């Protein structure tokens, strides 16, 4: 096993193409709009795997990245803490969710149920243009895995685009929102795992599942597509659990951010 990769720097998201948020409108509407924009952008970064488990963040650095004051960032952090994506510690420091092995295993079971349902319904409702786009994303993933040195950040983004390209085709917004809330918590772990497996056989395993999934979608076989998706999620999850990547978090996983009732005990000021 390779040495643990260093967490991305607070401004790494800026380097990957994220731009500061713009301010428009009156003072009252501006506060609401900017706060919502910061929340959605930070949530999107978590879902995309832009941060690693237990990575420390600061209000000041995030405010500088977004081009805002610290007030909307503070509000976004509180909301994401209540959802289990971020942790607010007793000393008011902030870090990314680091689930224990037990918590991650539970999330795997929920993911297979929800994402399998979304996939099955998506195949039944997909337009030809959506199928073409899914096939193109799968081809991008394959090309990246075949590179001599696959880029973990690129792989994380393509993998996210592939999965949510399928889920959104289900036309079930409430289900998609539930799945996104799960990915807020699990994506940092997936991103960490990709950094470890970028040179290994596991990428070919993921590609194999993706290929089976696309073939099933092309045939409009919703049952086989669901089976391929679930196999992809389970195999990747079981690999992560076997690897021991999460053991370092097993003793410290009962953090404030994972429980909305305890998350409110520690306030950011």
Look at the chain and report how many structural domains it folds into.
Answer: 2
- Domain annotation covers residue 7: no
Residue 123 is encoded by which pair of tokens? 């195949």
Q: At what angle do helices 101-125 and 152-168 cross, to 10 degrees?
A: 50
Domain that holds residue 214: 101-248
One domain for residues 136 and 233: yes
| 3 state DSSP class of 25 | coil
One domain for residues 57 and 189: no
Q: How far apart are CA 70 and CA 143, in angstroms?
A: 40
Give the DSSP letter string of 185-198.
HHHHHHHHHHHHHT
One domain for residues 191 and 65: no
Kindly report, residue by residue over 48-66, the tens digit of the pLDDT. Answer: 989 999 999 999 999 999 9
pLDDT of 13 > 50? The answer is no
One domain for residues 22 and 66: yes
- Domain annotation covers residue 113: yes
Kindly report, residue by residue over 237-261, the tens digit of the pLDDT. Answer: 998 898 888 888 876 544 444 443 3
One domain for residues 122 and 43: no
Kindly report, residue by residue over 174-208, the tens digit of the pLDDT. Answer: 999 999 999 999 999 998 888 876 545 467 778 88
One domain for residues 239 and 198: yes
Q: Can you list the alpha helix ranges (DSSP code H) found in 67-172? A: 70-82, 101-125, 128-145, 152-168
pTM of the prediction? 0.79
- Select, from the ranges 26-30, 66-70, 225-229, 262-266, the one with the highest average predicted confidence (pLDDT): 225-229
Q: Could you tell me what percent of the chain has a pLDDT over 70?
A: 79
One domain for residues 107 and 94: no
What is the largest distance, in Å, between two alpha-carbon atoms of the chain? 55
CATH number at residue 203: 1.20.120.530
């Amino acid at each position: 096993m390779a040495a643990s990769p260093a967490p991305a720097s607070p401004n790494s998201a800026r380097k990957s193409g994220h731009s500061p948020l713009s301010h428009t409108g009156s003072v009252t509407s501006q506060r609401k709009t900017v706060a919502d924009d910061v929340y959605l952008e930070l949530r999107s970064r978590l879902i995309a795997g832009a941060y690693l488990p237990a990575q420390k963040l600061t209000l000041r650095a995030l405010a500088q990245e977004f081009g805002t004051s610290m007030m909307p960032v503070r509000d976004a952090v509180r909301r994401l803490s209540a959802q289990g994506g971020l942790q607010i510690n007793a000393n008011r420091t902030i870090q990314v969710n680091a689930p224990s092995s037990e918590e991650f295993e539970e999330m795997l079971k929920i993911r297979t149920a929800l994402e399998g349902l979304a996939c099955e319904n998506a195949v039944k409702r997909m337009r030809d243009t959506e199928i073409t786009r899914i096939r193109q994303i799968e081809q991008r993933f394959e090309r990246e895995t075949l590179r001599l040195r696959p880029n973990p950040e690129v792989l994380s983004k393509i993998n996210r685009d592939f999965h949510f390209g399928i889920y959104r085709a289900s036309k079930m917004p409430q289900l998609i929102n539930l799945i996104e809330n799960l990915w807020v918590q699990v994506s940092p772990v997936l991103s960490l795992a990709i950094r470890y497996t970028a040179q290994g056989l596991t990428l070919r395993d993921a590609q194999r599942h993706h290929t089976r999934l696309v073939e099933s979608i092309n045939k409009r076989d919703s049952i086989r597509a669901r089976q391929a998706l679930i196999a992809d999620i389970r195999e990747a999850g079981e690999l992560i659990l076997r690897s021991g990547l999460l053991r370092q978090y097993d003793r410290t996983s009962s953090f404030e951010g994972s429980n909305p009732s305890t998350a409110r005990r520690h306030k950011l000021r």
